[in-house]
Amino acid sequence: MNEIELHNYNLEKTLLGGQSFNWDLIDGTFYGFFVDKVVKLKQEENKLYWQTYPEKDNFDFIKQYLRLGVDYNKILTQINKDEWVDASIKKYPNLRILKQDFDQTLISYIISANNNINSIRRIVRNLSRSLGKQVTVDNLTFNLFPSVESIAQAPLETLLETKAGYRARYLKDSAQKLFVEGQKLSNNEDEIIKWLLEFPGIGEKVADAILQYSLGFDNVTPLDVWVQRILIDLYLVDSKANYKKMRAWLQSYFNGYAGWAGQFLYEYYRNEYKFIKSKSLVGSDN
């Protein structure tokens, strides 16, 4: 395996914390499956050991996917502006944000709608077993994530067998749309959101997840139930505010880095919610 220096990077929390659904930790090593490759990562102190398969030594992919070029200390300085973010950073140090493949992120987050992390992971693996190619690494067999074309052309019955439920139709229709139209991406946030909302199964929250976890929009984070609780409980945002107003408040408050702040706060509040409420550290829900 190749070796690089890796400082201030919580690989486990970043890969398995709910941003992505295609990683497994096996005997201390992370294996991730993508449309055209399997990636192997192992972290030991300030070293990262890595390899890509079947094409070897694709460091450009590793660098982009793990976002190794960001100024992490600058980001922490920018977002650490109140007691809640400070507590989040201390509780979950070195949490990062990935930059994932667009097609894979779009499909995965359609599956995520009204679903929990474990269920999403199972459906993603079922989909890959049904439609993805097999690659063997370290005597382990992995099914690659299926291409948009293969999902678009798959019978609906096959997609239903993945346990995607009503999302199976969304997967097929959205894959067909993406396969026919191709990616229509720009640097304009509003234009991308407008286009993403045309896809079956994509609403505001899923669109924001795609912007954050695939397209690198650092001032965007999906407002799931936990992030909305954070805004209401910790920041006293009006509970009657709609999605757009809550989103605008978060973006204004963190001024360019709402995505990073939201990721820390999400991990902290989701895992510490019962403790925080029991200690009356926040007010009552509005």
Number of domains in the chain: 2
Query: What pLDDT was estimated at residue 282?
Result: 54
Both 32 and 86 in one domain: the answer is no
Which domain-ending residue is among 16, 36, 69? 69
106: in domain: no
Q: What is the CATH number of the domain that holds 41?
A: 3.30.310.40
**β-strand partners of 142:** 135
Query: What pLDDT was estimated at residue 281?
Result: 55
The span from the CA of 178 to the CA of 180, in Å, is 6
The span from the CA of 173 to the CA of 282, in Å, is 43
Contact (Cβ atoms closer than 8 angstroms) between residue 15 and residue 8: no
Both 75 and 46 in one domain: the answer is no
Query: What pLDDT was estimated at residue 271?
Result: 85
Query: What pLDDT was estimated at residue 267?
Result: 92
Low-confidence ranges of the chain (pLDDT < 50): 283-286
DSSP 8-state secondary structure symbol assigned to residue 54: S
Whole-prediction pTM: 0.93
Query: What pLDDT was estimated at residue 277?
Result: 64
Both 61 and 74 in one domain: the answer is no
Phi/psi of residue 256, each to 5°? 110, -15
Range of the domain at 283: 70-92+218-286
Query: What pLDDT was estimated at residue 275?
Result: 66
